[in-house]
Amino acid sequence: MDKRIWEKANAFSHIYTKIVKGDTEVEQLGKLKKKDFYRIIILCGSFIMIASLEVLAKAKDLDYFTFVNESLLAQGNPGLTYEDFVTSMLASYIGKIILPVGLALTTWIAFIKIGFNRIFIFSWTLFTLAAAAFHLLSLELTSIFYYIYILLYIIILIHLIRLPQDTIKEEG
């Protein structure tokens, strides 16, 4: 039994080494330039700031709470208490900031420790496209935050797609 565990650990170590060292199976693109790192971090921070302002504005607005409550009652759903309303706003907030937080953290790890590869770019481009599509389908056309989010998603996508051209190849 110990032999099988040891073999699996060696296999995992081999795969990890290939990914981190940039073997031929997973091409390592190199390290991020500082300016690209800071651009992504600033974009993610801006996204989180806008989401924070939006949830603050909506959660404090008694008219918005009344509008949401009346909409629910008109659809035959039970009304909300203010605590339930605030809880739903915070849940929505966490759902909106999970992408920029994850992108910022993995970008920091890629910048400090391991560099990045095409899988990093593909994954985060796909996640960002999915989040943008989900946001577009919310159709909050009367909210200025809706359009700011769309603009930030587009800018993040452009930076992610441009990353392979803006990398520093490591010598040796």
Domain with 40 in it: 32-167
- Assess if residue 17 is contained within a domain: no
Residue 131, in any domain of the structure: yes
The pLDDT of residue 50 is above 90: yes
Task: Encode pLDDT of 140-164 as tens digits.
Answer: 788 888 898 999 999 988 888 887 7
pLDDT above 70 coverage of the chain, percent? 77
Residue 27 lies in a domain: no
| pLDDT tens readout for residues 52-81 | 999 998 888 888 888 888 888 888 778 788
- In a domain? residue 143: yes
124: its two tokens: 């985060």
Report the alpha-carbon distance of residue 170 to residue 70 in Å, rounded. 60
* Residue 14 within any structural domain of the chain: no
pLDDT digits (tens, 9 = 90+) for 130-142: 988 988 898 878 8
Report yes or no on 101 lying in a domain: yes
Would you list the DSSP string of 45-94? Answer: HHHHHHHHHHHHHHHH-HHHHHHHHHHHHHTTPPPPPHHHHHHHHHHHHH
Instruction: Give the whole-angstrom CA distance, residue 41 versus residue 108.
Output: 8
How many domains would you assign to the chain? 1
Q: Does residue 6 sit within a domain?
A: no
**Is 26 within the bounds of a domain?**
no
Q: What is the reported pTM?
A: 0.70
pLDDT digits (tens, 9 = 90+) for 107-128: 888 888 777 777 878 888 899 8
Is it the case that residue 17 has pLDDT exceeding 70? no
Q: Taking 90 as the threshold, does the pLDDT of residue 27 lie above it?
A: no
